[in-house]
Amino acid sequence: MSDLNRQKIVDSVPQKGFFGHPKGLFTLFFTEFWERFSYYGMRAILVFYMYYEVSKGGLGMDKTLALSIMSIYGSLVYMSGIIGGWLADRIFGTSKAVFYGGILIMFGHIVLAIPGSVSMFFVSMVLIVLGTGLLKPNASTVVGEMYSEEDNRRDAGFTIFYMGINAGAFISPLIVGSVMDYSFHLGFGIAAVGMFLGLVVFMLTKKKNLGLAGTIVKNPLTPAEKKKTFTIIGLGIVIIAVLCVVLISMGKLTFESFINLVTILGILIPTMYFIVMYRSPKTTTVERSRIIAYIPLFIAAVMFWSIQEQGSTILASYADTRTQLNFAGIHISPAWFQSLNPLFIIIFAPIFAAVWLKLGKRQPTIPQKFSLSLLFAGVSFLVILLPAYLGGSNSLVNPLWLVLSYLICVFGELLISPVGLSATTKLAPAAFSAQTMSLWFLASAAAQAINAQIVKFYTPETEMTYFGVIGGASIVLGILLFVLSPKIQSFMKGIR
């Protein structure tokens, strides 16, 4: 996008009106609040819906298969962001991408809200994956477009936007989890209403508040390119559909083979990104050095997100089957534990930001922060070992142990998530700045793709080994990264 277009967009947006920020921040704050309310409300009960017996309103899937599908679903959500970003950049702009994404998400939740079969469940998953890929990355892009590059309110604006995300993610599991025992479909219906409210806010306020933000296609396809692209996409969809029908009829495309395929893609796609960027003639010698520095950081991120994302799979199952859910005179829904992560982020994110500001140049380097995040992640899993070690593997665990595990992991997240975003913008080759940001999100996709295989090893009998090995591996990797930090830092060529 040219500098002229950037300034034209900024000038079109009312610059005061939401806590001293552009009015459009109100629109995007509440759109993303309701989208995250919708997504995390659905996610909080989804794994239970898959493995609960039909008599309890579930689909009656094998629990291990349900945990793998949940991981693959999370992986595909992050992979689809690449498609959503491309469509916004080349075809219809970020604003329309947000709207179309919201429509797909809402219909996905409506399909889940209607009692149906496993096949209907997968239809809903396709809709939600594609919708989230369109909406999530592009909503953040529109936020950035409202501020000029010199505007010192930009970071604060993204912080407010981030709080909207976490506020929606905090509230929804409490509401949806409360109706889970009565009806899963009612819970999914509430998620659909949440997305509908987000769309209403967006449509009623975007014209007045957003101006031209999100309306300009940054790198539009020419008419000839459009014709060629749509032809390729159409043929691709037909070929994939035919292949799926043939392979399913032959018994070759099963749940297991699909999970394995996504696992391979989750590892292969980011690997190809690194190779293409490193070998590109557009990448300078200094940028190649920074790419080498980014590789161990990416691996560390995959390890961290592998543990953190098990909050919606293994720890959700642990909350359901191994935790005292009648505590202090209150019956706790296992879905409520999904609210802990966003709650702790809301509480501690400002504290961490203040600490870094206070330390200034004395704060740990980027690789050191990543290594500390792995230590926290590893300890969060080792904490789960203690109640089983102290009270036996057959007794129900005090829910405060699970709360402590989530809290420790959030400390790790606050060391790696915002730091990783910042490091990505600094270390990215100039010719691949946007694609490197996509690469950062692919760390979570790779982590969950790997989780789809790891969760198969979790059983009540292997519980202590499972948490011990994964937690121990994270701590060892964290120590190794800390030792190598000075060397990694030297490859960053001046970036700290």
String of DSSP letters for 273-335: HHHHHHH-TTS-HHHHHHHHHHHHHHHHHHHHHHHHGGGGTHHHHHHHHSB--EETTEEPPGG
Q: Is residue 429, in this structure, part of any structural domain at all? A: yes
Contact present, 202 and 102 (Cβ < 8 Å) = yes
- Kindly tell me the burial class for residue 32, based on how many C-beta atoms sit within 10 Å of its own C-beta (0-12, 13-18, 19 or more): buried
Greatest C-alpha distance within the chain: 69
407 within 8 A of 377, measured Cβ to Cβ: no
Question: Is there a single domain that holds both residue 200 and residue 306?
Answer: no
Q: Are residues 37 and 100 in the same domain?
A: yes
Q: Look up the domain containing 15 and give its range.
A: 1-220
| Residue where a domain stops, chosen among 164, 193, 220 | 220
| Total length of the chain | 496
Does residue 200 lie in a domain region? Answer: yes
In a domain, 326, yes or no: yes
User: Domain of 412: which CATH number?
Assistant: 1.20.1250.20
CA dihedral 121, 270, 441, 447 (to 10 degrees): 60
Task: Answer yes or no: do 55 and 197 share one domain.
Answer: yes
Same domain, 214 and 274: no
Q: Running along the chain, 496 residues long, what does each successive block of 10 average in pLDDT?
A: 68 75 85 91 91 87 91 89 81 86 93 84 89 84 76 73 86 91 90 92 87 77 82 85 79 80 90 87 86 91 94 90 85 91 90 80 86 96 84 79 94 86 77 72 92 90 90 96 91 74
Last residue of a domain, one of 220, 254, 286: 220
Q: How many CB atoms lie within 10 A of CB 149?
A: 10
- What pLDDT is attached to residue 242? 85
- The verdict on residue 244 lying in a domain is no
Question: Looking at the structure, do residues 37 and 154 belong to the same domain, yes or no?
Answer: yes
Residues 198 and 310 in one domain: no
Q: Directed axis angle between helix 255-279 and helix 285-308, to 10°?
A: 160
Residue 412 placed within a domain: yes
Are 310 and 164 members of one domain? no
- Taking the C-alpha atoms of residue 336 and residue 177, their distance in angstroms, rounded to an integer, is 6
Query: Is 185 a domain residue?
Result: yes
Q: Are residues 15 and 107 in the same domain?
A: yes
Q: Give the span between the Cα atoms of 154 and 147, in whole angstroms.
A: 6
Q: Which of 202, 220, 238 is the last residue of a domain?
A: 220
CA 210 to chain centroid, in Å, comes to 25
Residues 214 and 299 placed together within one structural domain of the fold: no
3-state SS, residue 21? strand
Number of structural domains the chain divides into: 2
Pair (72, 7) in one structural domain: yes
pLDDT tens digits, one per residue of 401-445: 999 999 999 999 988 887 787 787 778 787 776 667 778 888 999
Closest CA to 70 of 128, 110, 113: 128
Residue 257 placed within a domain: no
Query: 209 and 103 in one domain?
Result: yes
Q: Give pairs for 113-117: CB < 8 Å, separation 24+.
A: 113/185, 113/186, 113/188, 113/189, 113/191, 113/192, 114/185, 115/185
- Between the alpha carbon of residue 94 and those of residues 56, 121, 167, 299, 457, the distances in Å are 41, 28, 23, 30, 41
Whether residue 294 is found in the same domain as residue 197: no
Q: Does residue 105 lie within any of the structural domains?
A: yes
Three-state secondary structure call for residue 401: helix
Q: pLDDT per residue over 91-117, tens digit each?
A: 888 888 889 999 999 999 999 998 877
